[in-house]
Amino acid sequence: MTTLPKLSELTSSERRELFAYLRTAITHHSNAMEGVSLTYGETKRLLEEGFTAPNKPLSDHLIILGFANAFDEVVLESYARQPLTTSFIKDLHATLFKTALAACPDKIDKPVGAYRTDERYIVGLSAPLASPRQISNQLENLLYVNQPKSMQDIAKFHIDFELIHPFAGGNGRVGRLLITYQSVQNDLIPPLIENEHRKDYLNAISDPAALTDFLYEAQKQSYHFVEERHQQNKQDREPDIELDL
């Protein structure tokens, strides 16, 4: 298995370019996995230029913007190396959905920024989800017991978080944001989980070893961007050679 560099081993320019890229890429793919209709190009234009996509729902645009804001919070807070808290997780959920909720309340599962109050089930999942009265204690216990230091720990945390399923909607998106948080917190390149690999991701989410392997491959996808940029910058620096014929 190829060892990837730590975040701190990248240059400041490489880190800046990587996070700018991941802000768009993770925002697009994480939301596409949940049915948001904007393409990668439309997501990029919305986030970088403020252009909306014609004939696409307002709620989809607002969720994209909310997710990007939540991503910014994740990167900022993770560099502080502070342990995760339930209040931060609820704040992330609120950041993700509050604007869309205000404009399109019929499109967003409620409550936002608070734990769900009803029983939930996932089709095809044999393990039970936490009941509403168990959510607070189970999440507090998860944060206390599992303080990830490696991608293997992060994979286990992600599975446990999704089984608690604390919110009425957006659990997958919040969970994937936490993968980014914990990766940066531990000096790891954040994985890019692409919508094209959604089935593989869902198949791996009940098996810590399989999810660890999946996340490592997703890390390599993120690092591939760094390698491409490095190669492009190298080519840009190479002088043109004029031949006398």
Catalytic residue among 158, 165, 197, 224: 165
What does the alpha-carbon distance between residue 185 and residue 81 come to, in Å, rounded to a whole number? 5
The long-range contacts involving 194-202, CB below 8 angstroms and separated by at least 24 positions, are 194/29, 194/218, 194/221, 195/28, 195/29, 195/32, 195/33, 198/33, 201/33
What does the alpha-carbon distance between residue 97 and residue 36 come to, in Å, rounded to a whole number? 13
Query: And the tokens for 142?
Result: 């998860």
Task: Count other C-beta atoms under 10 Å from residue 5's C-beta.
Answer: 13
Phi then psi for residue 201, to 5 deg, are: -60, -50
What does the alpha-carbon distance between residue 68 and residue 91 come to, in Å, rounded to a whole number? 14
3-class secondary structure, 101 = helix
Does the active-site annotation cover 165?
yes
**DSSP annotation string for 17-61:** HHHHHHHHHHHHHHHHTTT----HHHHHHHHHH-PPPTTS-HHHH
CB-side neighbour CA atoms (13 Å) of 15:
14
Active site residues: 165
